[in-house]
Homo-oligomer: A and B are copies of this chain.
Amino acid sequence: MRKSHIGSGDADHICIRGHDLADDLLDKHDFVDVLCLAILGHFPDRRLRRMINNALVASIDHGLTPSALATRLTLHGAPESLQGAVAAGLLGAGTRFLGSAEASAHFLRTALDGVERPEALSDAELGAHAHAVVARCRAQGQKIPGLGHPIHVHADPRTERALRIAREDGYFGVHCRFALQLAAALAHALGRPMPLNAAGCKGAVLLDLGLTPEFGKGLALIGRVAGLVAHAIEERSRPLGQDLWNMASAASQAGEE
């Protein structure tokens, strides 16, 4: 069997990537430091910390989402198991809701595959490639992830902040540039604005920082668990589970055939 490089533990010592938990990490490094150490194998620099914190904060809670509802309904049936309720909510973090940044990063990476030294291309050259990619996707009926927003039809404010930070922190690179060219190419093809949205931008930022799409998905899961814990704990003091059950049963009985 291969060795796991993450860490080891016995009754006496716990090590994460070679650092002793009790002597070197606790009270000396915060959660974001050790999270990064465990997953990536090194402590984050200032700009990576900033990105990680923003990614975690952005996914904590979006209100009574399907994920939060699943946690609360599960706690209603199994009030003894906080971990079961949180796990149930986590299982809804799939391709539709918390996986879109991952999908965008995969798309960008694939679209630049085979392009030699893409970071040396000018914006015009990236734009020409983006037009070709958009044309091919449209011909094959393939959706381009990370573009368009139901409300912010011209520009998503979260995208603007994330790109501003990428420029400030010096990692605005070929993936962010290409993502913007893709948005412009699609808008041109459709004849209406199709701004780069938050998920599309997050995917580009991950790649420009040298990270993987699944690291982005991992951050979304960690952040979301904090929100699901909040819902599970609120459910104990202000239960919604029984009301949700009654509402759903009544709505189904009165529902369309």
Contacts of A205 in B (CB 8 A): none
How many angstroms from the CA of A201 to the CA of B82 in the assembled complex?
Answer: 21
Contact indicator B234/A5 (Cβ below 8 Å): yes
Q: Does A106 contact B (CB under 8 A)?
A: no
Contact indicator A4/B82 (Cβ below 8 Å): no
Contact with B along A2-30 (1 / 0, CB 8 A): 11111111111011100001100111011
Q: Is the interface of A mostly helix, strand, loop or mixed?
A: helix
Contact indicator A67/B77 (Cβ below 8 Å): yes
Given A38-B226, A70-B73, A74-B92, verify A151-B12 contact (CB < 8 Å): yes
Q: Does A42 contact B (CB under 8 A)?
A: no
Given A2-B240, A6-B227, A82-B221, verify A69-B69 contact (CB < 8 Å): yes
Contact indicator B77/A92 (Cβ below 8 Å): yes
Contacts of A141 in B (CB 8 A): none
**How many copies are assembled?**
4
How many angstroms from the CA of A58 to the CA of B54 in the assembled complex?
Answer: 22
Q: Does A124 contact B (CB under 8 A)?
A: no
Contact indicator A77/B57 (Cβ below 8 Å): no
Contacts of A39 in B (CB 8 A): 226, 229-230, 233
Q: Does A238 contact B (CB under 8 A)?
A: yes
How many angstroms from the CA of A151 to the CA of B22 in the assembled complex?
Answer: 15
